[in-house]
Structure 1
């Protein structure tokens, strides 16, 4: 949720316009990057931000060139200020639905734009929409896991691996890529344990890979994540172990978990856009072409809503790409309209 201390970096809902060239749904890295590109192209832009960034629990955003380790909330505050500096509007609110505005007869209807319904009852018009609401990480229902998420319960070796290097790391099996995840974290620590949990223990080539890399396999269901203090003078509680259903506790300092990732996209349902299974099989996403264009003309997506594995740097790039292509699409539409108007004027 949006913190009261962040409100000074937003515009007020009372001052928004009735219509914009582009409405960006989602105020994360992808959405703000797209909005920045559009605002710098002198487009009227509104960013609607529900204030629920996926990486909010993390202490820092990593592998982001020039800003490595910046707090996610600080990065977004900077982004909001930059967008507003070019005349864009950013408001703290959620979007409940996006609907098409059509013109013409029932036989020759065409989309003229979109109407975006806000959670507070307002609605605004947009010629184009960029959806960048990210995704929700669905964690296994294991006591203690959610409370450590983004701290010492992590998922990505590139996002958080350096921060848990040389620690006693556990990998909780949740899907077909968990063995690969264990091998990635083995690059960062000599002490890695693979918890099979509710899945069968690895066999064949996978079992051989784990054994060759010195990764111990522990079978049996995981009952809970243990927390406490490690060593003398510990400043805060942290993960201390993984407790199995039989009561055994395996000491660990960090636990890697691959989540089930589901796109935040309910507001696109009125357009017929709904999440589908990602080719990886471990996520749901909104499909799009490399520029972010969806199957619905005028609707673009960027960031984790379409690319579940995108890090912050990838999302920034995707948002910029989508913003540039949306601007180009509007430029082309405006050129067509100008040519038609000129021809009509000449004919009369």
Structure 2
């Protein structure tokens, strides 16, 4: 069985549900397919989202799904594996055999975090290993924080975290060598630098307690900031000719700023295109994209209506001419008789 909808939203996080809500309220037939693998699942709460600060991520999704369904939208589980263009739009297939045809696609699949290969980092990710001070800085305020150097933006992250704690240590690990100016700036902010590679994190009673260096030293810490490489979840778009593009922070799907990609009919919102977007920013982007898609469909519906009207007028004119011709022929026959 194949579903037919106006818009298929691929990804049921903040961006996807916000876009779906906007489209459902615009009386569009919308379906959300979600793989059930939210990036922020390990986090205890969503932060920086006005009126929703601290809300567990799962509750935000639950409430969002209920709102979308309340306006007639459909949300269900499904992992999209392929997407191709058809004469009327797109056809999408899922891992469990679902098939959906849609006039437009809204891709909100988010990203994956390519974490440093350091023991303990992945296990503690989203808890006391973090990447966004604005998302988690308040929760680790005034604690001993370590920054695991693994990319070119390590100075920015380290200086930023000094706003939340007076005890910040930069573990240079595999980051580029610091310049004399870098070290002077760090020293001015009383931030210590530890050279040498990190072997792993020390865990005590289900909490980070320190950073273990390759030479055996252990530096006590209570929270660790890392700089992952962000990779858009967009491999299934390859058949449509839409590929991820390089980004200073990883790879993303490029859009025009409103959500429209380089492939007509395919839109994107949230972390799949904006790698640094917080939950509230992703939700806003979903709404903008949803409104853009509806506007595009309105224009298309209008063109079709005008074209249909012209066709009807032409048919009517031909029928009228035929009837008139038949009447003339009948009159001629009567006169001849």
Is TM more than 0.5 here? yes
Higher-Rg member (1/2): 2
Q: After TM superposition, give the deviation of residue 208 of structure 1 in Å.
A: 1.5
Q: CA RMSD in A?
A: 1.0
Residue 34 of structure 1 contacts residue 322 of structure 1 at CA under 8 Å; is this kept in 2?
Answer: yes
State the alpha-carbon separation in 2 of the partners of residues 265 and 302 from structure 1: 12
State the alpha-carbon separation in 2 of the partners of residues 196 and 285 from structure 1: 27
State the alpha-carbon separation in 2 of the partners of residues 218 and 87 from structure 1: 56
Counterpart position of 1:216: 192
Counterpart position of 1:137: 113
State the alpha-carbon separation in 2 of the partners of residues 317 and 163 from structure 1: 25
SS in 2 for 1:18: strand
- Within a 5 Å distance, the mapping from 1:197-208 to structure 2 comes to 197-208=173-184
Counterpart position of 2:66: 81
Off by >6 Å, runs of 4+ in structure 1: none
- Alignment counterpart, residue 321 of structure 1, candidates 280, 288, 297: 288
Residue 146 of structure 2 contacts residue 170 of structure 2 at CA under 8 Å; is this kept in 1?
Answer: yes
Q: After TM superposition, give the deviation of residue 17 of structure 1 in Å.
A: 6.1
Instruction: Give the TM-score normalised by the residue count of structure 2.
Output: 0.92
Q: After TM superposition, give the deviation of residue 124 of structure 1 in Å.
A: 0.9
Counterpart position of 1:334: 301
Counterpart position of 1:38: 23
State the alpha-carbon separation in 1 of the partners of residues 184 and 243 from structure 2: 40
Structure 2 residue ranges without an equivalent (≥5): 316-337
SS in 2 for 1:124: strand
More helix by share: 2
SS in 2 for 1:198: coil
Instruction: Give the TM-score normalised by the residue count of structure 1.
Output: 0.89
Counterpart position of 1:93: 78
State the alpha-carbon separation in 2 of the partners of residues 296 and 201 from structure 1: 41
State the alpha-carbon separation in 1 of the partners of residues 36 and 65 from structure 2: 12
SS in 1 for 2:109: coil
Alpha-carbon deviations, 1:167-205, whole Å to 9, x = none?
Answer: 000001111111110001000000000000023441132
SS in 1 for 2:76: strand
Counterpart position of 1:310: 277
- Within a 5 Å distance, the mapping from 1:64-213 to structure 2 comes to 64-102=49-87, 112-213=88-189
Alpha-carbon deviations, 1:291-327, whole Å to 9, x = none?
Answer: 1000011000000000000000100000000000000
Matched, 1:248 2:224: no
Residue 175 of structure 1 contacts residue 282 of structure 1 at CA under 8 Å; is this kept in 2?
Answer: no
State the alpha-carbon separation in 2 of the partners of residues 340 and 31 from structure 1: 33
